[in-house]
């Protein structure tokens, strides 16, 4: 296919029209009595009309037919999608999953969505849901989906995704992510067996984290986010199926035309993608392992200042230079839930067992940290500058909500031996200071006083 082009920026006010129809965008107004080319004007709202200007999200679409032109929705099979968090008793244990199996029979993106864990309820517009997707066939030429419940953040792990949306087309490769926001119709094509992860938020939309004293630049820079340019098809068909994810269920409606008929659009509510290799890493140049929040790419904030409904965090290749420091992630108990996935490579704190296409979940206040082998190596290595996570990209979906695991996820691909990676940890306490201890020289001296003449 031809090379796709994009608009650069995060949350920008974009204006774009398919070059086949120059002048399709109205000038000086949104809803003219008669649109150019006989188009219909349609607004897609991603926030309340009266939301503050800095958080108000909406776009105007100029399309061949309005999206209301369809037959009634009917409930359809939702497969392994669920928001029922009470199917099984809660489990506070550390959990790890082997790589999730690729399908043997034909399965597309929607059919391959499987809920792993989550919390909350889309009816109350509060919560998160984490899925894996495994598929091996494109969505049929006459089939698309939209999410009425929230935003999808999609993380491909194996196989590129060609995503056609009402706003245009995106190609999303492994080591890239994309966000399809609430209400946006899209279809996913694949080139072969494909796998990845999806984070869904019910509360609001993803934003860039505040940088605070970091300054004006760093982490995920706004200019590196890409939004598709307008592209349309004027295609009449016998039956096109539109799937709506609504209150945790799937519904389908039929129509006789392609919904990807938006000739032009403008606004600040659109799908976008981001290449994780563009992330500008910030880290310590003195001592200590910094908190993982410095690796936040996107966040969906709660109503509590600084507390996220969900953060998307990555652990990219970087330099480790901390002096007098245990450099891997520290041992931790957290008031947040931590779900981790691995796109490629091996994660520094657990080089064995945690594999690409698999996952871990460390629930609220459940202890976790480096395995025994990592602890011994990092406690005794030469602290020279070194590359960390070279050839690796791990990520974390972190949430302030206490997430429950689904029945399917508790019974499939679970690594029941995960706890054993910490069992070889030894007691090193002797009650005496060691000569090789570092980082403890600034406290009160316990040595003998020198005699004075």
- State the catalytic residue, choosing from 166, 176, 338, 348: 338
Q: How far apart, in Å, are the Cα atoms of 298 and each of 32, 263, 337, 422, 449?
A: 36, 30, 16, 31, 55
Whole-angstrom distance, CA of residue 179 vs CA of residue 150: 11
Question: Given phi > 0 = left and psi -120 to 50 = alpha, else beta, which region is 402?
Answer: beta
Q: How far apart, in Å, are the Cα atoms of 311 and each of 94, 186, 198, 292, 448?
A: 20, 24, 13, 11, 51
Cβ(94)–Cβ(414) under 8 Å? no
362 counts as catalytic = yes
- 160 φ, ψ (degrees, to nearest 5): -75, 155
368 counts as catalytic = yes
- State the catalytic residue, choosing from 289, 344, 351, 376: 289
The CB density around residue 377, as the number of other CB atoms within 10 Å, is 12
Cβ(352)–Cβ(373) under 8 Å? yes
- State the catalytic residue, choosing from 126, 205, 266, 368: 368
338 counts as catalytic = yes
205 counts as catalytic = no
HSE, CB side, 13 Å, CA atoms: give it for residue 266: 13
Place of tokens 């029945």: 407
The CB density around residue 223, as the number of other CB atoms within 10 Å, is 11
- State the catalytic residue, choosing from 17, 126, 362, 398: 362
Contacts of 144 (CB under 8 A, 6+ apart): 164, 185, 186, 187, 240, 241, 242, 243, 259, 260
344 counts as catalytic = no
- State the catalytic residue, choosing from 257, 332, 351, 376: 332
The CB density around residue 343, as the number of other CB atoms within 10 Å, is 22
Whole-angstrom distance, CA of residue 24 vs CA of residue 227: 19
Whole-angstrom distance, CA of residue 349 vs CA of residue 27: 56
Contacts of 203 (CB under 8 A, 6+ apart): 125, 126, 127, 150, 300, 302, 309
Kindly report each contact of residues 213-221 with a partner whose C-beta sits within 8 Å and lies 24 or more positions away, as own/partner: 214/282, 217/280, 218/280, 218/282, 219/279, 219/280, 219/282, 219/294, 219/295, 219/296, 219/297, 220/10, 220/274, 220/278, 220/279, 220/280, 220/297, 220/298, 221/278, 221/280
> Strand, helix or coil at 138?
coil
Indicate the pairing of strand 143-147 with strand 236-246.
Answer: parallel
Active site residues: 289, 332, 338, 362, 368
């Amino acid at each position: 296919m031809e090379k796709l082009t994009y608009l650069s920026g995060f949350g920008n006010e974009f204006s774009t029209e398919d070059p086949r129809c120059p002048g399709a965008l109205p000038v000086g107004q949104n809803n003219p009595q008669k649109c150019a080319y006989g188009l219909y004007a349609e607004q897609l709202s991603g926030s309340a009309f009266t939301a503050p200007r800095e958080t108000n999200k909406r776009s105007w679409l100029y399309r061949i037919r309005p999206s209301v032109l369809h037959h009634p929705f009917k409930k359809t099979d939702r497969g392994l999608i669920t928001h029922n968090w009470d199917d099984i008793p809660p489990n506070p244990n550390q959990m790890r999953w082997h790589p999730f199996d690729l399908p043997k029979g034909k399965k597309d993106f929607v059919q391959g969505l499987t809920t792993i864990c989550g919390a909350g309820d889309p009816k109350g517009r509060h919560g998160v849901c984490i899925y894996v997707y495994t598929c091996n066939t494109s969505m049929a030429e006459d089939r698309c989906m939209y999410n009425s419940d929230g935003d999808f953040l999609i993380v491909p792990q194996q196989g590129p995704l060609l995503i056609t949306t009402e706003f245009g087309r995106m190609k999303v490769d492994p080591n890239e992510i994309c966000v399809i926001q609430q209400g946006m119709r899209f279809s996913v094509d694949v080139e072969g067996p494909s796998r990845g992860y999806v984070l869904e938020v019910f509360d609001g939309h993803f934003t860039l984290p505040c940088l605070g004293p970091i300054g004006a630049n760093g982490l995920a820079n706004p200019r590196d986010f890409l939004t598709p340019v307008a592209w349309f098809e004027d295609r009449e068909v016998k039956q096109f199926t539109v799937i709506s994810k609504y209150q945790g269920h799937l519904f389908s409606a039929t129509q006789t035309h392609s919904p990807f008929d938006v000739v032009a659009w403008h606004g600040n509510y659109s799908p976008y993608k981001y290449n994780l290799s563009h992330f500008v890493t910030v880290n310590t140049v003195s001592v200590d392992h910094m908190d993982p929040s410095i690796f936040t790419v996107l966040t969906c904030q709660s109503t509590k200042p600084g507390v996220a409904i969900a953060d998307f965090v990555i652990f990219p290749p970087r330099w480790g230079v901390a002096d007098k420091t245990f450099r891997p992630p520290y041992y931790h108990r957290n008031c947040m839930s931590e779900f981790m996935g691995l796109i490629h490579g091996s994660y520094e704190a657990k080089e064995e067992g945690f594999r690409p296409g698999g996952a871990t979940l460390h629930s609220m206040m459940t202890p976790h940290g480096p395995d025994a082998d990592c602890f011994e190596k990092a406690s005794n290595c030469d602290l020279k500058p070194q590359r960390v996570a070279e050839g690796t990209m791990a990520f974390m979906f972190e949430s302030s909500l206490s997430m429950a695991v689904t029945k399917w996820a508790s019974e499939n691909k679970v690594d029941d031996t995960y706890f054993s990676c910490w069992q070889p940890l030894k007691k090193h306490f002797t009650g005496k200071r060691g000569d090789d201890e570092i980082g403890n020289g600034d406290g009160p001296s316990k040595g003998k006083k020198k005699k004075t003449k």
